[in-house]
Amino acid sequence: MSALLCVVAAAVGFYVLVYYRVFRGGSCSRSVTLKGKTAVVTGSNTGIGKATALDLARRGARVILACRNKEKAEAAAYDIRRESGSSQVLFMQLDLSSFKSVRNFAENFLKTEPRLDILINNAGVMSPGHTEDGFGLAFGVNHLGHFLLTNLLLERLQQCGPSRVVTVAALLHRFGTIDFPLLASKKDLVSDQSTWHSFQAYCNSKLCNVLFTRELANRLEGTSVTCYSLHPGVIHTELCRSMSLWQQLLMMPFAKLFFLDPEGGSQTTLYCALQEGIEPLSGRYFSNCELQQVGAKGRDDALAKKLWEVSERLTSLS
């Protein structure tokens, strides 16, 4: 019996150590109120996007759920209004896989909303396929769609400063690469649509998120707009969404024990959106509600500038 107790105690101790040292995220506990402020959150009908939008609504912000699926987004808006007690939560159609949709969203938003204080580029995909404009899906949605959206809304952000742009990247940016000749020939940063290439495409797009934020900060230096990228943590709902049923069943016990729920996964996003005093860190990367070092490619200013210039051409901004 004593041996069994020792094994159980050791297992519990190991779990606590791993959970708190590796998987458990930080917490945004700031009591910031956002009455009179407006926030846009992309991909906010589910997961950490929805949790982020709920927190912002509870703080009094007017929250725009910028989502592709009208039915799911309106249901999410209803849930958030009910849970937050705020009536200032609404859906606006945005399909990041379509430049036309991004431009329509920006046009409608600028016509109807006088303020924009926080833009949260949260939506992301890790799937094969192509956008309406022929780009690889991960590159097109995770990077180009948000690049275009941010640029179209930038003037309004500057008018309402101090304001912030928060882009959800990932630790996997460290495995990303940017092959410009491949992009020119394939309209993508990977050469195939296999499962492995879909994973690599996701890593590449997350590197783009980090570099986009870095270059955006350089271009906004001296203005009242600051920007940040972040790793939200490992969220079991988001990870399992792209898995087959049997993979989900195998992963679920581990996910329940170690991975973050959507509320936990939203904390670093909220930290970057709300934390006072981090303005001098514009362009930097956060994880667990703390400043973190990015991979070497994520610190390459020349690469960031080139990606920006190429993205301008691809989205017809230049």
| Residue 85 near residue 76 (C-beta atoms within 8 A) | no
19 is an active site residue:
no
Residue 90 burial (CB < 10 Å; 0-12/13-18/19+)?
Answer: middle
Name residues whose C-beta falls within 8 Å of residue 99's C-beta, 6 or more positions apart in sequence.
Answer: 132, 133, 144, 145, 148, 315, 316
Task: Give me the catalytic one of 202, 228, 271, 285.
Answer: 202
Among 292, 295, 293, residue whose Cα is nearest residue 303? 295
Residue 134 burial (CB < 10 Å; 0-12/13-18/19+)?
Answer: exposed
Amino acid at 52: T
Residue tagged 């495409």 (tokens): 201
Residue 239 CB coordination number (10 Å): 15
| Residue 82 near residue 57 (C-beta atoms within 8 A) | no
* The two three-digit tokens of residue 159, written as one number: 């008018």
Peptide bond into 280 cis (omega under 30): no
Among 308, 134, 98, 113, residue whose Cα is nearest residue 215? 308
Residues known to be catalytic: 202
